[in-house]
């Protein structure tokens, strides 16, 4: 049986390795980070992601995932390499391909050191802009003297997994997109990653060109980000017009052309993909002399939405001197990832506006530890493992992440807050009905009873 090699043991690479191990493959997993490799080989999952810890533990026991820092060591054994390293975006929106390039150089060195190895296929899964696979990756590999299409195959197969449900998303994909240099490259990737697609659903496999596959990923993430910014814009209208945005979203979501997904109004999107990918596509367009007006608006609406959370708070409570409890530091529920999380924007803003103390809670210890590096605990910044300790004596509770732990909170849980305390539910997870008779005022983002607006 094929021994695939995954390069990059982050969210994507690790989850693919786990998924393939579950399908019965022996997998080589390469990463430059020796600490992560050591953890994986000892059966410890280095990230906070549902279902992965058990699979990683099992894989270490059965030795189905062999993690290593040396690509050279496993190069001969594997005939297919799936590149899952991160791509980053600087503040100006320029995509940083240093990790992808470094993998290309490592592979080139392997080809040079082992010139007699047979045909290999390299498939990029990292999110890369159009032209990266054939215009950046391929020339580096070919500088080894090997020729693409003859000595090695090249493919690009974007991933669509969501943190928090990464393994399930891989095991039950809506689609498998394979862009390839030629039919042989595509075929090899199809044989491997096609194991995740049910046999009776071949239409879920899309075979295409390298550049089309690259753009599909950006188009999909930009579309989803657009959907979120759209509903957040409608949410702001709902607040102006005395409407509940949830009712509007449910109704429009019933139209199959729209669908009910990704229509949850909230504090704006974060995470490692949407903000980075929309910015990267926007910047790439600008570099080519094109003005991506829609993408620009999507990003502007998103950053305004993060500020709107603070605005909502300020309308309900004087920020200067207040003790503010923030529930949710990760960018969404079920992950310890805090990249571009709303909390990271809101915390410094609240302190700048004069908040006396911020009390921070997240069910994930990873999320708390990540934030502690950026917002070091001091007399104003406090971290809590228990929700009740974070809420105690607070004037405001601001809910920023839709963890199950917060959805189940009842009015009595908030009784430990100060007199005249308020809750700002930016994730719309608490039932307003339950709080009708509570002494604590609940404000839900995207809802108001305001009847001020009457068309003239």
To the nearest 10 degrees (0 to 180), the angle between helices 293-316 and 342-352 is: 50
Matching residue, tokens 């080809």:
111
Closest contact distance (angstroms) between CB of 270 and ligand UDX is: 4
Of 263 and 350, which has the nearer Cβ to ligand UDX?
263
**Distances 50 to 54, 67, 166, 293, 344 between C-alpha atoms, Å:** 9, 20, 8, 37, 23
Closest contact distance (angstroms) between CB of 131 and ligand UDX is: 20
Closest contact distance (angstroms) between CB of 262 and ligand UDX is: 4
169 token code pair: 């998303």
176 token code pair: 């498998």
Closest contact distance (angstroms) between CB of 307 and ligand UDX is: 15
Backbone angles phi and psi of 319, in degrees to 5: -75, -45
- Is 273 one of the catalytic residues? yes
Closest contact distance (angstroms) between CB of 5 and ligand UDX is: 21
Of 180 and 266, which has the nearer Cβ to ligand UDX?
266
CB 232 within 8 A of CB 248: no
Of 241 and 262, which has the nearer Cβ to ligand UDX?
262
Of 274 and 435, which has the nearer Cβ to ligand UDX?
274
Of 99 and 332, which has the nearer Cβ to ligand UDX?
332
Closest-CA residue to 218 (of 297, 129, 85): 129
444 token code pair: 């839900």
**Distances 106 to 31, 88, 126, 143, 404 between C-alpha atoms, Å:** 12, 19, 16, 12, 43
Of 173 and 180, which has the nearer Cβ to ligand UDX?
173
Separation CA 396–CA 350 (nearest Å): 11
Closest contact distance (angstroms) between CB of 133 and ligand UDX is: 17
Separation CA 266–CA 273 (nearest Å): 17
Cβ-closest position to ligand UDX:
273
Is beta strand 88-89 parallel, antiparallel or unpaired with respect to 95-96? antiparallel
Give the contacts of 352 (CB within 8 A, at least 6 positions apart). none
CB 30 within 8 A of CB 102: no
Is beta strand 5-7 parallel, antiparallel or unpaired with respect to 65-68? unpaired
Give the contacts of 360 (CB within 8 A, at least 6 positions apart). 325, 326, 329, 343, 347, 368, 371, 375, 381, 382, 383, 384, 390
Of 270 and 363, which has the nearer Cβ to ligand UDX?
270
Question: HEC string of 1-66?
Answer: CCCCEEECCCHHHHHHHHHHHHCCCCEEEECCCHHHHHHHHCCCCCCCCCCHHHHHHHHHHHCCEE
292-299 long-range CB contacts below 8 Å, 24 or more apart?
Answer: 294/226, 295/222, 295/226, 297/229, 298/222, 298/225, 298/226, 298/229, 299/229, 299/275
Closest contact distance (angstroms) between CB of 303 and ligand UDX is: 13
Site residues for ligand UDX per CB under 6 A: 159-163, 221, 224, 228, 262-264, 266, 269-271, 273-274, 331-332
64 token code pair: 């189905």
Of 79 and 163, which has the nearer Cβ to ligand UDX?
163
Instruction: Considering the candidates 5, 84, 123, 273, report the single residue annotated as catalytic.
Output: 273
Catalytic annotation, residues: 273
């Amino acid at each position: 049986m094929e021994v695939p090699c995954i390069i990059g043991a982050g969210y994507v690479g690790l989850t693919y390795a786990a998924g393939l191990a579950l399908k019965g493959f022996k997998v080589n997993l390469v990463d430059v980070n020796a600490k992560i490799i050591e953890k994986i080989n000892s059966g410890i999952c280095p990230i906070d992601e549902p279902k992965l810890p058990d699979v990683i533990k099992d894989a270490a026991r059965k030795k189905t995932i062999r993690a290593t820092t040396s690509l050279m060591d496993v190069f001969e054994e594997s005939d297919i390499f799936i590149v899952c390293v991160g791509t980053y975006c600087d503040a100006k929106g320029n995509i940083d391909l240093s990790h992808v390039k470094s993998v290309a150089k490592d592979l080139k060195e392997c080809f040079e050191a082992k010139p007699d190895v047979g045909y290999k296929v390299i498939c990029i899964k990292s999110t890369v802009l159009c032209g990266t696979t054939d215009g950046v990756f391929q020339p580096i590999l070919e500088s080894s003297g090997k020729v693409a299409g003859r000595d090695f195959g090249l493919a690009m197969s974007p991933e669509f997994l969501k943190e928090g449900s990464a393994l399930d998303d891989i095991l039950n994909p809506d689609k498998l997109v394979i862009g390839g240099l030629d039919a042989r490259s595509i075929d090899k990737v199809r044989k491997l990653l096609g194991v995740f697609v049910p046999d009776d659903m071949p239409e879920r496999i899309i075979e295409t060109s390298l550049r089309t596959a690259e753009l599909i990923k950006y188009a999909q993430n930009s579309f989803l980000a657009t959907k979120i910014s759209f509903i957040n814009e409608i949410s702001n209208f709902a607040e102006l017009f005395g409407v509940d945005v949830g009712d509007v979203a449910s109704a429009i979501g019933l139209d199959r052309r729209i669908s009910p997904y990704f229509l949850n109004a909230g504090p704006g999107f974060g995470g490692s993909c949407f903000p980075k990918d929309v910015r990267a596509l926007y910047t790439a367009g600008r570099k080519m002399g094109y003005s991506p007006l829609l993408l620009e608006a999507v990003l502007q609406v998103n950053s305004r939405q993060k500020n709107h959370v603070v605005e909502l708070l300020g309308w309900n409570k004087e920020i200067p001197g207040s003790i503010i409890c923030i529930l949710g530091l990760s960018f969404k529920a079920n992950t310890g990832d805090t990249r571009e999380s709303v909390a990271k924007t809101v915390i410094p803003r609240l302190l700048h506006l004069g908040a006396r103390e911020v009390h921070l809670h997240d069910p994930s210890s990873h999320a708390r530890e990540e934030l502690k590096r950026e917002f070091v605990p001091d007399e104003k910044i406090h971290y809590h493992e228990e929700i009740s300790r974070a809420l105690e004596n607070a004037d405001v509770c601001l809910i920023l992440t839709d963890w199950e732990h917060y959805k189940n909170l009842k009015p009595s849980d908030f009784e430990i807050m100060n007199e005249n305390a308020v809750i700002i539910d930016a994730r719309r997870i608490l039932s307003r009905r339950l709080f009708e008779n509570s002494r604590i005022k609940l404000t839900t983002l995207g809802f108001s009873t305001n009847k001020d607006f009457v068309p003239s």
